Amino acid sequence: MTNNSGGRLLSTLAVSGLFALYAVPILLVILASFKTNAEIVNNPSSLVFTPTFDAYRTVFNEDFLQALFNSLILATGSTLLTLAVGVPLAYVLARSPGAWGSIVIAVLIALQMTPAATAVIPQFRVLAALGQLGTYTGVILAMSAAALPYAVLILRPFYLSIPPEVEEAAQVDGASRLRTFVSIVLPLVRNGISLIGVLLFIGAWGEFLYPISFLNDQSQFPLSVLILQQQGFYGTQWNNLMALAILGAIPTIIIFTLVARRLTSGLALGAGK
Amino acid sequence: MTGLFSPSTQPPLTSRSGLLKATRSALFRTLFAAPGFILLAIMSLYPMVLLVQMSVSDVTIRNILGTWQFVGALNFITVMSSLTFQAVVVQTLLFVMLVLVATMLAGLIVAVLLRPSGGFSLVTQTTLILVWTLPPVIVGALWKFLFASDGAVNQFLLFTGVSESTIPFLSQPSTALVAIASVAVWIGVPFAGLVLKSAILDVPEEVLDAARVDGATSQQVLMRIVIPMIRPTLLILGVLIVVGAFKAFDLIYTMTRGGPGTSSTTIPYLGYTTAFETYQFGQAGAISVVAMAIVVSLAIGYIFAVRQEQR
């Protein structure tokens, strides 16, 4: 009895420690964004101070809005392109149990494991040949190609979970393959598509390697690159950098709170299979 | 033979309508798979061919967009004999092993801790997943702030007496790589914990009860029953963690740019800087071909791990 309640106390303490390990760093960053830099230099972890919006006022300028807009274009564009080509490809692969299907899946697994830092080196020449260096199209093509294997591998199990009889029944009724897909199959994998859509968007939102490798013009860079540059510009102006990081994280946090529960169960499902 | 472009259910090919149906089905599959295949062919597969060609050619910033002169294994010899590359290989191994072992152990602890579904467990789990969804560039900036010489981590270490002087975590060669690895673990643990938690929850309660009735301690239950039963998940997760650590670019770039010197550089990162910072594209190709060889062997390992779980 005493052993049991002692164990419970211990595990509550351990969970609290775990919570602190994740919550305290986030809290310190949020607090830092409301301090003046003098206060941070004096004591970066102080809890008592006069909050100020100075840092937010400094970073919330025209450059920020331009970068925010660029991030939206790149993240939305690459998410939509990946879904547009990935949703049908995953369906074909789910309905291809033979050797070809297995080979394609093996290639997709290898591609998913390819470091982006490796892929961008030869892509530089390919995009130059296509005349797409320095364009959003080029960056979106590269980002979508990088995300496609991941999207297909996560989507395929959702198609596999549909019993074949459902589609066969529709085809007996004379519906074409395309109509069967659009009106019967797609609604059944809606959850999978929205899950992967969210994951793709969150991933694309933080992406900076492709933009810094393929874009030149300052006015084209997304928010992630702006955050990188501000580290240099502001030096140790931590309050400004933290305010910018928080503003940059807001879109992903909003999406996260909208889908948190489904994301959590979907992740566990996708990873286990 | 049922392949990707042939129908999985064989209609009678003797009748005319059956043949028509089979052709239509093949056409449907081709049209549906084509856009994805074209994107991968242009942006992923052809670039890999180019990369191999680049690794055996003399390519610098002058002719990256022009014609390439074949030089055989010269780039590989140059790269392999360079002390920087040798050190980077060791660092990559160290980094990947550190991240793998720490993420696995911490992930198991988190999975066991969060297994009872209480209110506080749920709050903690949600906080962890929120961190997992944060862009690495933001997490990198966050920890750069916390790891600074006058940052919170040093304050904490001084206050608790663990350290007597401030440690410049990110600006000295002996700690930079380990500091980045610890942040990679911090981001990776939520995912590992969640996956392991769902694997542990799949272990039948009766099995655990039977062991407890037979007098097994909770430690014995974990080591002798739970871990052997979730072995396939551990294997798959292990490969995913190794791949994630090997691919790590964003955290390194954000926190140290691979420095000081090349002390926190890994193989793929070295490939990138050799191409886009020193413009030795040929050597970058050779380094990246080595990276791809590692990737392919990891992929084969992963496929075997998945096969084993499905059996």
- Output helix, strand, coil percentages for chain A, rounded to the nearest 5: 80, 0, 20
Whether residue A148 and residue B36 make contact (CB cut-off 8 A), yes or no, is yes
- Chain A residues inside the 8 Å CB shell of B285: 121-122
Give pTM, 2 decimals.
Answer: 0.89
Given 1.10.3720.10, 1.10.357.10, 3.40.50.300, 3.40.1180.10, which CATH number is that of A60-272?
Answer: 1.10.3720.10
| pLDDT for res B7 | 42
Give the range among A73-82, A134-143, A162-171 with minimum mean pLDDT.
A162-171
As a whole number, mean pLDDT of residues B32-50 equals 96
The partner residue sitting opposite A177, judged by closest CB among B25, B134, B199, is: B25
Q: Tell me the two tokens of residue B268.
A: 């793929």
Q: Is the pLDDT of residue B202 over 90?
A: no
Nearest CA in chain B to A117: B272
- A202-231 residues touching B, CB cutoff 8 A: 202, 205-206, 208-209, 213, 224, 227-228, 231
Whether residue A95 and residue B29 make contact (CB cut-off 8 A), yes or no, is yes
Q: From B272, B297, B247, B287, select the one nearest B52 (Cα to Cα).
A: B287
Q: Tens digits of per-residue pLDDT, B120-174?
A: 888 899 899 889 889 999 999 999 999 988 889 999 999 898 888 889 999 999 9
Whether residue A206 and residue B137 make contact (CB cut-off 8 A), yes or no, is yes
- Chain B residues inside the 8 Å CB shell of A9: none
Q: From A210, A209, A165, select the one nearest A188 (Cα to Cα).
A: A165
Distance, in angstroms, between A223 CA and closest chain B CA?
A: 10
CB pairs under 8 A between A and B: 281
Say if CB A155 and CB A86 are below 8 A apart. Answer: yes
As a whole number, mean pLDDT of residues B227-247 equals 90
Say if CB B55 and CB B282 are below 8 A apart. Answer: yes
Q: Using 50, 70 and 90 to split pLDDT, how confident is the model at A272?
A: very low
Say if CB B120 and CB B205 are below 8 A apart. Answer: no
Cα(B23)–Cα(B6) distance, integer angstroms: 9
User: Is residue A134 less than 8 Å (CB to CB) from chain B?
Assistant: no
Q: From A206, A240, A228, select the one nearest A71 (Cα to Cα).
A: A206
Fold of B79-310: MetI-like fold (1.10.3720)
Listed by start position, the domains of chain B span: 16-55, 79-310
Q: From A111, A127, A125, select the one nearest B54 (Cα to Cα).
A: A125
User: Is residue B152 less than 8 Å (CB to CB) from chain A?
Assistant: yes
Q: Tens digits of per-residue pLDDT, A93-130?
A: 998 888 888 899 999 999 999 999 999 999 999 999 99
ipTM: 0.89
- Chain A residues inside the 8 Å CB shell of B186: 21-22
